[in-house]
Amino acid sequence: MAALIATAINCSLSAKGRSSSTDAMIAVLAEHFAEHDVKVGKPIRIAARNVKWGVSSNEGPDDDWPAIREAILAADILIFGTPIWMGQISSVAKLVLERMDAFLSETDEAGRMPSSSKVAVAAIVGNEDGAHWASSQLFQSLNDTGWTIPAVAACYWVGEAMGDVDFRDLPHRPRKVTETAKMVTANAAHLARLLKASPYPG
Amino acid sequence: MAALIATAINCSLSAKGRSSSTDAMIAVLAEHFAEHDVKVGKPIRIAARNVKWGVSSNEGPDDDWPAIREAILAADILIFGTPIWMGQISSVAKLVLERMDAFLSETDEAGRMPSSSKVAVAAIVGNEDGAHWASSQLFQSLNDTGWTIPAVAACYWVGEAMGDVDFRDLPHRPRKVTETAKMVTANAAHLARLLKASPYPG
Amino acid sequence: MAALIATAINCSLSAKGRSSSTDAMIAVLAEHFAEHDVKVGKPIRIAARNVKWGVSSNEGPDDDWPAIREAILAADILIFGTPIWMGQISSVAKLVLERMDAFLSETDEAGRMPSSSKVAVAAIVGNEDGAHWASSQLFQSLNDTGWTIPAVAACYWVGEAMGDVDFRDLPHRPRKVTETAKMVTANAAHLARLLKASPYPG
Amino acid sequence: MAALIATAINCSLSAKGRSSSTDAMIAVLAEHFAEHDVKVGKPIRIAARNVKWGVSSNEGPDDDWPAIREAILAADILIFGTPIWMGQISSVAKLVLERMDAFLSETDEAGRMPSSSKVAVAAIVGNEDGAHWASSQLFQSLNDTGWTIPAVAACYWVGEAMGDVDFRDLPHRPRKVTETAKMVTANAAHLARLLKASPYPG
């Protein structure tokens, strides 16, 4: 069983400061990915980088996207981490999806996007409500831009309606989150290995 | 201050049986609507009626929609109650929205739909997650079909991620739900009165 | 290369009558699936059957869902066909998704749902607007209920904003639809074969 | 009939360059708003300003949001203009909504947000598909943050599926867009006048 690599992105609105709940959820997935010999790199905090608005792969000299794009495409698996704001993915997450829109015109001779034969999973956290809408936004956009979505690909936590508890501050990890993380990582690792060995022919 | 009438619909998947959480949330709104002299009728349980698939106002002799449509349009305010299934509004709720699609071609000489100058609010409940997506589906569809959406028009409750507690079984009503219900009903009653006195000119 | 089987469902609001645009889009996919040795059965018109509201796999003696469920699970690939109404999937489509919610509690000893290691693609048509929202609803709900989504899994057509042209009435098939159908079917057939040979371990 | 003021924001991903389709749609609304004595200011191009990520009303010394926020709240009507990317509102639009999240904690003694008794409408353009999902995201988020949504509040245009025509390049304005713009502006002006004369009591 060959080792796989996963790149994790954290689409928090904060560039720095104390640890984010999105990082905490990515860490849960990383812990279980390790059981499947998938190495997860340090999450890329998008808001800490200078990612320009746009839908091309390079928006000029100061644009940090090309380096992030390279890290994403160097991996077999993408862990797309986003907080929920107003019941939806963050603006930072949408920015990343828009930059991936360029994949549609970067196909190889067989019509395959750079993301082809790679799998994506979601790590979603919020104080309350929004995980299903967030995963729907991610799955549709990631699928449009060439990513494959393994069965049960979203690991999420939200609190009770209109609550304000953060995932990182929970006294202990909810059993349901652990169960889901196990399924998400087992499925993603399995599918990524299949597609790495036998890529889409295009 | 003239009394207003509100019609409530319950888009639960169940036709009968023990009391529904959607009914419980509608009752919260009804209680606070009473403070604003708005009389709320007994919720219409859509799944207990024979509402046909379609996008016209009458789909044949056995269709119960014409009577429900009449009850809805006889009121000043619509309370649209739906449970959440898979993070979205119920199929029964979508069916009701589709039947209202007919309003688009039932305009008067000033181009106004039958729902014109009436306001709609949402009562949304689920075991976990989905209230924002549900309200987005409702607000867009109701707005397209002529309804006006007062400020802060959704009263909802959902439990923690992947939980299974029902709203009707909560030991006491969450304070946040009460606060929201007060705002929803105050705003809806105010706006419905304004529009009843001064309808859209078209 | 072993032959695969695909089951197609048509979630039109109409039970019968003249050919549906959803059927026309399913036919486009079936044509290209044939090139990959995937046999597509006659689309199951859900609105012509008696599928009960609910979230269990059997809602009583008159319920046609158990037979439809069996046909879906007998195949390797699901073609989920839906028209767009109000920018969203049809109520009939949501009903089908709700019935699949039962898969979550029908796991085998390895924790796998009945849909595990099967792939799903979408066939979406509308007069105007809504394909992306429809695919987001489908991908999230199908993924939650155990389905795997191959890269580029939605084949769709919609006309210009507020238009009323039907896909089945187009003078010729749009080139973009053909290109998309080729990619959707090639990817789905490839992934379904991989997963059939090497199912998720759970 | 007192004159009203509308502030328009353009959430294009481009900071400058040739005229945007979003501006073109805002101009259609401005033209018809003039018939109702509503003065629409020059659209604020968000991407040309330095609006920081965040959910507060002031994210530090370089943040341009406070000035934009002031312009928005000085008006009676908000015209929220956004392009469609990947079937959804732009990341820039989501950023604006997130900044408005602060309204929830900026209530007056009657519990009213700064946006209370103001109305919002949407101007949405895209090459293809996504207008309904975009309006659903906008209506839910704007409603949560205190805005009232008049009947028929979205004016939009998108081309045929997978097309690449821009609204600004259309040879002539579609009749349906004109009809919709007339209804959107008539309703918004009427409702804004009612609420300005009789604000929500809170």
Nearest alpha-carbon partner for D143 in C133, B142, B200, B81: B142
Q: Compute the C-alpha angle A65/A68/A69, nearest 5°.
A: 80
Per-residue pLDDT, C146 = 98
Confidence at B19, pLDDT banded by 50, 70, 90: confident
ipTM > 0.90 (yes/no): yes
Which of B47, B90, B97 shows the shortest C-beta gap to C86?
B97
Residue D110, both tokens: 């009657």
The confidence score (pLDDT) of residue C17 equals 63
CA–CA–CA angle B103, B104, B107 (5° rounding): 80
In chain A, the residue whose alpha carbon lies closest to the alpha carbon of C199 is A190
Q: Note whether C190 contacts A201, CB cutoff 8 Å.
A: yes
Contact between B98 and C137 using a beta-carbon 8 Å cutoff? no
Q: How sure is the predictor about C1, in pLDDT bands with cuts at 50, 70 and 90?
A: confident
Residues of B in contact with A156 (CB under 8 A): 129, 161
pLDDT tens figures, C70-93: 999 999 999 999 999 999 999 999
The predicted structure's pLDDT at residue A18: 62
8 Å CB contact of B139 and D150: no
Query: How far apart are alpha carbons C23 and C26 in whole angstroms?
Result: 5
| Whether A202 contacts A173, CB under 8 Å | no
DSSP letter string, chain A: ---EEEEEEE--S-SSSSPPHHHHHHHHHHHHHHTTTEEEPPPEEGGGS-PPSSSSS--STT--HHHHHHHHHTSSEEEEEEEEETTEE-HHHHHHHHHHGGGGG---TTS--TTTT-EEEEEEEEEES-HHHHHHHHHHHHHHTT-BB-SS-EEEEEESTT----GGG-SS--HHHHHHHHHHHHHHHHHHHHHHHS----
pLDDT band at A135 (very low <50, low <70, confident <90, very high): very high
Residue A19 confidence (pLDDT) above 80: no
Distance from CA of D127 to the nearest CA of C (A): 9
Task: With cut-offs at 50, 70 and 90, classify the pLDDT of residue B53.
Answer: very high
Candidates 3.40.50.360, 3.10.20.30, 3.90.1170.30, 1.20.1090.10; CATH matching A4-197: 3.40.50.360
Burial of D127 (0-12, 13-18, 19+ CB in 10 A): buried
| pLDDT at res. A1 | 72
Q: Using the beta-carbon criterion (under 8 Å), do C191 and A148 form an inter-chain contact?
A: yes
Task: Give the Å distances, CA to CA, from A164 to A34, A55, B184, B189, D73.
Answer: 31, 34, 21, 29, 27
Q: Which residues of B touch C62 (CB under 8 A)?
A: none
On the question of pLDDT at D139 being above 70, the answer is yes
pLDDT band at A2 (very low <50, low <70, confident <90, very high): confident
The per-residue pLDDT for range B149-197, each reduced to its tens digit, is 999 999 999 999 999 999 999 999 999 999 999 999 999 999 999 999 9
Closest CA to D134 of C129, B127, A171: C129
CA distances from A86 to B102, C154, D70, D101 (A): 31, 27, 22, 8
Chain A residues in contact with D87 by the CB 8 A cut-off are 140-141, 144
Rounded Cα–Cα distance for residues D30 and A124 (Å): 39
pLDDT band at residue C101 using 50, 70 and 90 as cut-offs: very high
Question: Are residues D54 and A15, on separate chains, in Cβ contact within 8 Å?
Answer: no
Residues of B with CB under 8 A from a CB of C: 13-15, 47, 53-55, 85-92, 94-95, 97-98, 101, 137, 140-141, 144-145
Express as a percent the part of chain A with pLDDT over 90: 97
In this predicted structure, the answer to whether residue D17 has a pLDDT above a threshold of 70 is no
Check whether A91 has a pLDDT greater than 70. Answer: yes
> What pLDDT was estimated at residue C49?
96
The minimal CB distance from D91 to the residues A14, A53, A140 is found for A53
Mean pLDDT for all residues in chain C: 97
C13 pLDDT higher than 90: yes
Confidence of residue A17 (pLDDT cuts 50, 70, 90): low
Interface of D with B (CB under 8 A): 111, 113, 115-117, 132, 135-137, 139-140, 143-144, 146-154, 183, 186-187, 190-191, 194-195, 198, 200-202
**B89-137 tens-digit pLDDT:** 999 999 999 999 999 999 999 999 999 999 999 999 999 999 999 999 9
The whole-angstrom separation of Cα B87 and Cα B137 is: 11
What is the pLDDT of chain D when averaged over all its residues?
97
- Nearest by CB: C159 against D132, D160, D180: D160
Q: Which residue of B has its CA nearest to D147?
A: B151
pLDDT number for residue B16: 80
Whether C93 contacts C49, CB under 8 Å: no
Structure tokens at B85: 């299934």
Report the Cα A186 to chain-centroid distance in Å: 16
Please, which chains are in contact with D (at least 3 CB pairs closer than 8 A)?
A: A, B, C
Give the residue-averaged pLDDT of D146-152. 98
